């Protein structure tokens, strides 16, 4: 009986060791691939928490910005406000449109500007969001903090990011006037946005990464921005409608937060993918003029 138990124990131990060795080989094989490298870097920078933090800070900065814009909107002299433009842009109707108007619309008695405290809150919110983005790129490119100078550059990059979304709208209008506009929308918009994203990431890294090493990242972010714009037009109105019907005005806020979380995950993923793609290209074709990426990093 004892010999049988020992034999069974030895067989089980052998099976366990074989399974463990097989698992280690599979893990090493996955880590050696491009996808494995992206997953390892995503885990190394704590990408999940960074994405959620970015989404939350984007929402906290978005609401004060909308308040500031809404405070100045009546000065234009027209009858439309921020809520009306969101409703028209997303083609919202019924109770959903009423909820958005209640959240973002200007009160009938609104006149003049916003207080100094409001501007301070807005600047602090945008600064916090920009610092989170800067820390993300510094972690991905293995850079140290840059201090006060880096804070100002990251805030400027955030303003450039806001301008980037406006640029997409104008680019779409211009491309829409061309023949074969549906075929040209993606390539033309990506061509316009890529240098903007390269400059934005370069500002976020305090110009410590040369622009040519950020080209792949710029293309990825430009394509992602176009796709997010399309998805927002298609799916986001439905998300707002469902949440507004369930929870009322607060449901609109839930919808914005949920959508920002999705965008933040995509943002972090593009940042990781851009870094790993650049490293992969330089390893595969070492004779390219841009050489090895990390040799051009200025600490």
Tell me the pLDDT tens digit for each residue of 197-219. Answer: 998 899 888 888 888 889 999 99
Question: Which phi and psi (to 5°) does residue 134 adopt?
Answer: -65, -45
Q: How far apart are CA 158 and CA 150, in angstroms?
A: 12
Most confident of the following: 104-118, 125-139, 261-275: 261-275
pLDDT at 223 over 80: yes
Q: What is the pLDDT of residue 265?
A: 95
Weakest-pLDDT range from 40-44, 81-85, 105-109: 105-109
d(CA 186, CA 196): 16
Sign of the C-alpha dihedral, residues 98, 103, 107, 111?
A: negative
What's this model's pTM, rounded to 2 decimal places? 0.79
Alpha carbon distance 219, 215 (integer Å): 6
* Arithmetic mean of pLDDT, 80-86: 67
Q: How far is CA 144 from CA 39, 44, 128, 206, 276, in A?
A: 22, 15, 18, 10, 19
Mean per-residue pLDDT for 62-89? Answer: 63
- Of 271, 276, 273, the C-alpha closest to 50 is 271
Closest by CA to 99, choosing from 260, 256, 264, is 256
123-130 average pLDDT score: 81
Asked if 220 contacts 191 with a C-beta cutoff of 8 angstroms, the reply is no
Query: Is pLDDT above 90 for 49?
Result: yes
* Contact criterion met (CB below 8 Å) for 101 and 84: yes
Question: What pLDDT, on the 0 to 100 scale, is given for residue 298?
Answer: 46
Q: How high is the pLDDT of residue 250? A: 85
Task: Give the distance, in angstroms, between the CA of residue 269 and the centroid of all CA atoms in the same chain.
Answer: 8
CA distance 113 to 298: 44
What mean pLDDT is predicted for residues 142-164? 77
Q: CB 176: neighbour CB atoms within 10 A? A: 11
Would you state the pLDDT for residue 290? 54
């Amino acid at each position: 009986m004892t010999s049988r138990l020992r034999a069974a124990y030895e067989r089980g131990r052998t099976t366990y060791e074989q399974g463990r060795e097989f698992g280690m080989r599979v893990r090493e094989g996955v880590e050696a691939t491009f996808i494995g490298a992206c997953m390892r870097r995503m885990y190394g920078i704590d990408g999940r928490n960074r994405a959620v933090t970015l989404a939350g800070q984007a929402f906290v900065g978005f609401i004060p910005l909308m308040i500031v814009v809404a405070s100045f909107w009546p000065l234009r002299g027209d009858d439309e406000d921020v809520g009306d433009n969101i409703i028209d842009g997303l083609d919202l109707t019924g109770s959903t449109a009423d909820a958005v108007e209640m959240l973002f619309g200007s009160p009938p008695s609104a006149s003049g500007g916003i207080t100094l405290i409001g501007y301070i809150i807005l600047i602090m919110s945008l600064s916090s969001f920009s610092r989170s983005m800067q820390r993300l790129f510094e972690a991905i490119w293995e850079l140290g903090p840059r201090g006060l100078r880096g804070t100002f550059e990251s805030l400027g990059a955030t303003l450039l990011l806001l301008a980037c979304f406006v640029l997409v709208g104008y680019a779409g209008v211009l491309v829409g006037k061309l023949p074969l506009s549906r075929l040209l929308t993606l390539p033309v918009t990506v061509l316009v946005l890529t240098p903007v994203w390269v400059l934005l990431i370069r500002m976020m890294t305090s110009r410590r990464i040369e622009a040519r090493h950020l080209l792949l990242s710029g293309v990825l972010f430009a394509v992602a921005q176009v796709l997010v714009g399309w998805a927002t037009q298609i799916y986001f109105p439905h998300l707002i409608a469902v949440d507004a019907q369930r929870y009322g005005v607060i449901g609109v806020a839930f919808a914005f937060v949920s959508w920002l979380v999705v965008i933040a995950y995509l943002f972090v993923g593009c940042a990781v993918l851009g870094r790993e793609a650049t490293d992969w290209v330089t390893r595969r074709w070492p004779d390219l003029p841009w050489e090895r990426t990390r040799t051009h990093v200025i600490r």
